[in-house]
Structure formats: C-alpha cells, structure tokens
Amino acid sequence: MFYRKLLLSVVQNLAVKTLTKFQPGIIAITGSVGKTSTKEAIYTILRVDRKVRRSRENLNNALGIGLTILGDYKRPPEGGIQKLFFWCFVVVRGYWQLYFGKTYPELLVLEYGIDRPGDMDELVHLYPPQIAVMTALSDIPPHVEFFASPDELYREKEKLVRALPVEGFAILNHDDETVREMREVTRAHTMSYGFGEDAQVGVIGYEYLYTNYVPRGMAFKINYDGKVVPFTLNVFGKPQVYSVSAAIAVGLIFGMNLVKIAQALESYTVMEGRGNFIPGIKHSYIFDSSYNASPDSMDMALETLHELESVKRRVAILGDMLEIGTYSTEAHLALGRHAARRVDRLIVIGARGAFIGEGAREAGMQSDRLTFFHTTEEALSHLDTFIEEGDCVLVKASHAMHFEKIINELKFK
C-alpha cells in the first residue's frame, strides 16, 4: 500500500508538471456508457489535423490518466519484475521529458472514471479540462455501489462540467434529461448532440448496411446549422451513433466541417470486445460486446441484436453485471425480461446470471430456449452445441467474467 501511494504521488506530480510545461488542451469524457467509443471517435477525427494522444484501454483514474499524460502507454503488466521495470521506465522517461523534451501532443483525449465520492474533485483539480463530453447516465449506473444513490453519482460526474473554464465547452447528450440539464450548472459554452429535434448536432435516423446478408456497418445523417451530411460507418448500434455524434461536436468546435469529419470517420472502428462483428463457427457471426457490461449497455446491445435483419436466430450469451451494489438482483431480473422479448435462444452464466434466466422465465421464455451455466469455464465445452448456421450471437458480461474466452471458443479459426 505504501509503495502504491508513493508511486501515485510521483506519477501525479510528474503529470501535473508536464501539463504545466507543455500546456496541451484536455478533452475529458465521462458518463455511464459509451466513454471509450466516444474517446476513440474523437481521436479518429482530431488526428487528421492535429497531434493527439488518447488514453489506452481503461486508464481512467488518477494514476491511469497520469500515466497517459506521461506517455502513450497501455495498461501496466500485472506483477513481478516486469511491473517494476515498467514503472521505473515511466518515471525516468517522465523526468527526461520534463527537463529535456521538446515536443508534446497538442491535445489529450482522456476518460475520467469515478468509483467513489470525491474522485471527480481529484481528477479536475489535477488535470483540468477545457472540453468535457458527457455521455448518457444510466438509471442503474456502474460503480453506484459506493454511492448512496444514482443521483449522488450523477452529481459527482456533474463536477466535470462545473469545473470547466468560461472559454471551455460542455458537450451534452440532448436525449438524456439529466445530462441535458447540466447546461444550467456550467460557465462554459454548451453544445448538444442526439436524436432530439432541438439537438445542435442532430442525428437523423440510422439504418444497417449488409453485404451478402452479413452486417457491415450503418448509415445516418447529421444536421448541423442547417446543413445535412450523410455518414457511413463500419460500426453498429444506436450507442455508436451517440458516440460518433458527440465526437462530431468536438470536431466542429475545432473548426472542422461535416464533410471533412465524415471522411475522417471512414477509418473509425470499435475496439475489440466493444461491439464488433466477427465470423463465428458453423457460418454464424458473433456480436462481440464481451469487454464489459452495465444494465444500459446490456439493453442497448440486445436492442442492436433485435434490429438486425436477415438473421436466422438471435442468440445471446449473457453473464454477471458487477459493481451495481444493491440494485444487482432487480437489474438482472429486468435484463432477463428484456432478453426474453429480443432473442430466440438465451444462455446465461454466473451466480447473478441465474437471475437473468429467472427474469426470462417470468417473461414467458420456455425452458428449451434457456440454458444456465455456473461459470464461464463450465460453459466453454458446451457452447458450440447451441450454435447453428446463420445465427447471430451476442456475447456480453462484466469484464471479470472473462467472456473473451467465449469469443475465442466461438470465433471462426
């Protein structure tokens, strides 16, 4: 514990001094869902014209953000001598950059994640942003277990837009009422995005695109300042539309026009495990959303699966959602009820996953369409028996369930 506190202090001190020396612009992203996709979309747009660095993987706390400020690092090794060498290298390189470095990114695109009350205060104090992007806020948000209520967690996230300078910008999800109302608590300029009629960056519809009946992307239009421009992307689902439209708002703030932004986004792809389609066994295809899960992201993934056309069967492999505290049982039951109306075959895994199955049965799902496994490892040797040619298979659970093992088992090799 002592060494962790010492390391945190050294990294934070170096990061703050690095920001003071190079004065990069900071774009901070928070919310309950969609942070990583929004970050990647912003990075994809801005790197066309500017030198940009974004946080890798899930480096979104005080230590992780400090690490990103010091360099373009991925998550540190888990332990042992490699971890020691990694942090020694980070610190030595950080001091070298501080005293001898000549170049640095113009912009940093960072996720600001919180676990406990006071976390956002620390982040905005150490690493004050000029632009804040607020995605959606879930009714049962992840990490709520350490807060008295979801509303208390919302107020903690709200501190990000409160901390913005007068000349800054708050990019707000127009379709989320709680987020939309944050325009009243910030000194900064505001810009809204979403499907709502009054959104400044307005989304007009979306449709999926197919090649030989296999999903290959989607198309939608953006209406901004009276101009309407079509977008075609190699991503799937309404959540991705929200992420991209938030990123478009950031691009507009930096003086890019919609046509140039649309061209930049042609190269945008989702990170592994966050909603990409991959070929599966038996000529199926896998909707890989295995990286993490919350009640809202589960619902939206099921909705995306339901919206797909030319699918023989919709199969969902769902597991435990963690870090939602006292809301856990009801959230899993509600997910099961939702899944029963959206999928043809449901496979649930884990102690909490059992409640997903119970919710599905309550909603009328027959036992021959529902299977339960206690652990991910138990399921692995049986899953291929449930897959048929032409199936689309959604795979989703919290990261600790290690559903990437299921992806490796079901993907076409």
Residue 214: count of CB within 10 angstroms of its CB: 14
Same domain as 58, residue 198: yes
Q: Does 291 lie in the same domain as 253?
A: no
**Domain end residue (candidates: 267, 285, 319):** 267
Instruction: For residue 244, give the CATH number of its domain.
Output: 3.40.1190.10
CATH number of the structural domain spanning residue 403: 3.90.190.20
Same domain? For 286 and 196 the reply is no
* Last residue in a domain, options 267, 293, 326: 267
233 and 323 together in one domain: no
Q: What is the pLDDT of residue 159?
A: 98
Distance of CA 376 to the CA centre of its chain: 23
User: Please, which residues have CB within 8 angstroms of residue 413's CB and are 6 or more apart in sequence?
Assistant: none
Tens of pLDDT, residues 51-62: 999 999 889 999
Type of residue numbered 2: F
Residues 121 and 227 in one domain: yes
Q: What is the pLDDT of residues 119-139, one digit of tens each?
A: 999 999 999 999 999 999 988
Identify the DSSP state of 310. Answer: S
Is there a single domain that holds both residue 75 and residue 171?
yes
Tens of pLDDT along 212-268? 888 889 999 999 999 999 999 999 999 999 999 999 999 999 999 999 999 999 999
- Contact assessment for residue 237 and residue 301, using Cβ atoms and an 8 Å cutoff: yes
Q: Is the pLDDT of residue 271 over 70?
A: yes
- Cβ-proximal residues to 353 (8 Å cutoff; 6+ apart), any chain: 318, 319, 320, 332, 372, 373, 397
Asked whether residue 358 falls in the same domain as residue 380, the answer is yes
H/E run at residue 285 = strand 285-288
pLDDT at 166: 98
User: Structurally, how many domains does the chain consist of?
Assistant: 2
- Report the candidate in 176, 72, 140 with the shortest Cα–Cα distance to residue 158: 176
Model confidence pLDDT, tens digit, residues 286-314 = 999 999 999 999 999 999 999 998 789 99
Q: Please name the amino acid found at residue 97.
A: Q
**Strand 285-288 relative to strand 314-319: parallel, antiparallel, unpaired?**
unpaired
> What residues contact residue 179 under an 8 Å CB cut-off, 6+ apart?
31, 134, 135, 136, 137, 172, 173
Phi, psi of 174 (to 5 degrees): -70, -25
Quote the DSSP letter at residue 294.
Answer: -
pLDDT at 211: 87
When the pLDDT of each residue in the chain is averaged and rounded to a whole number, the result is 95
Query: Would you state the pLDDT for residue 145?
Result: 85
Asked if 261 and 280 sit in the same domain, the reply is no
Residues 341-373: tens digit of each pLDDT: 999 999 999 999 999 999 999 999 999 999 999
Q: Which domain holds residue 394?
A: 276-410
Q: Check residue 278 and give its pLDDT.
A: 92
Amino acid at 375: T
167 and 18 inside one domain:
yes
1 — pLDDT class (breaks 50, 70, 90) = low
Residue at which a domain ends, from 267, 290, 306: 267
Do 263 and 298 lie in a common domain?
A: no
If asked whether residues 127 and 160 sit together in one domain, one would say yes
Least confident of 50-54, 178-182, 213-217, 392-396: 213-217
**Do 240 and 292 belong to one domain?**
no
**Cα–Cα distances in Å, from 28 out to 131, 169, 224, 329, 371?**
6, 11, 23, 32, 41
